[in-house]
A and B are shown apart, each in its own frame.
Chain A
Amino acid sequence: MADILVYALHYEGAINKNSLGAVSEGARLAAELGGEAHAILLGTDVPDELAASLGNYGAKKVLVAEGPEGLAQPLVDAMAKAIDDGGYSYALFGGGLLGFEIGAGLAARLGAGVVMEVTNVRAEDGELIAERPILGDSAISEIRYRSSVGIVIGRLNAFEIAETGAGAAPVEQLEFELSPHAGGATMVTRGEQRGADVDIEGADILVAGGRGLGKAEGFQLCEDLAAAFGGNSAVAATRAVVDAGWYPYAAQIGQTGKTVSPKLYLAAGISGAIQHKVGMQASENIVAINKDANAPIFEFSDLGVVGDLNKILPKLTEAVKAKKGS
């Protein structure tokens, strides 16, 4: 038997997309191993229908635990209990942030092997092999688990969502005890949206700005260029500039922001960190302007411009306007 326990993150009545991908992936892998994928949710008054809906993505059973939402350590307690009761061979997490913390904590609790940023998992001789890109995605390492439980933490958007049409899954309550240290953290406010509620997901053209803009006012250069493109265009940002308060969180692309795939994604002053790349690499055309010829973003752009954005963006805006006017 090789059953897989999949963590499903939920917020305000909806399951996180990366968790839906993880449940789908868990179901696919469990079938290859001759076992079942079960999902686990933790929260206060998690609706039964929400939990049961994971049956549509291949979960054969869904465990629901009562506890504080948005924190990792209560889930370590709950998942350790579920694994103890249910004899799971693997625990699987979709990309994001909480899953990293839960998976690592669970590895420590169980003495289990853990691999994060996994982009591919395959079943081989009755066990799972995890593939993880390393060193700025310049190589991919393959990892086997030598522990009775293996922990797989996916990279953002690594696992595809697949609806099976199987319908609702049976839901079971999981009783567990909150450890003293898990009780040591309390959520005060969750999901605060800093800045305006802008929409970047529907845009065909995104002009994205990063720390290279130098200051909050630097975003004006991006806004001017987006306005010159006109039509369905918008401005997006990296975590670095959102954390700095230069641009709204709603415009952030990446691991803890939005995933986008516009026709054109034009980056100015963005290094191209993995956590940003995972949210935009499906864009049809990627153009990057960066003064550092070794910036990682040039590894995955279709057109790379090595130069100072302060010189290039204003002229580009004028040239785009002129082109549109002609």
Chain B
Amino acid sequence: MLLEVSGVSVTFDGFRAINDLSIAIGEPELRAVIGPNGAGKTTFMDIVTGKTRPDEGRVRWTSHGIDLLKMSESAIARAGIGRKFQKPTVFEEQSVRDNLSMALKNRRDPFSVLFWRIAAADHARILELAEEIGLSNRLADRAGALSHGQKQWLEIGMLLAQDPRLLLVDEPAAGMTPSERAHTTDLLRRAARTRAVVVIEHDMEFVRRLDCRVSVLHEGSVLAEGTIDHVTRNQQVIDVYLGR
């Protein structure tokens, strides 16, 4: 297993956001995480990426069993876990090129970055990524000038630039047109050939198109897991989520 979350619980002001959650992700794998609002989907990502510390439980990374709970956010990111937020967060004041360049897998300590100068390989990688996310002719533009969907893509491009082993993607298709959604599905499926990708999504159609294993979260733990057809037939899932 690449990522193994076991028995994790977290409480915010008495509200139990995650309740004895256990979930395991292999490599490569594409996994969708669905569930009603407040089910703990985003909190799950917060825990894996180090933003939130759980009250109990374990989060192990790779077959070496590295304890992610002891690492800082930046160390977790360097270990190979990339994250895309629900609301697209790119650096709007800076160019698309600079956004991608910052995300490129290079050394991250201040002194290396201070003396970093773009190499041919970096440049080629930026062009390749820009091609993949459809922003080839926007490289010099301010990221803030992009449309909502383009910002989503730029963020996915930044995620790919990091070359992570695990991608955590929170609602990638929000605010996208149908054709943009199809493109995003392709991108995620392609990425999942060589690495683990976990997608949080509300849109069942989108999840169906991802055609992957689905985990349904409810009140902070996994309610059901399996193919999309399997989980949508599950009576509990229908009661708490689909039926509404």
- A and B physically associate: no
Residues of chain A touching chain B, judged by Cβ–Cβ distance below 8 Å, are: none
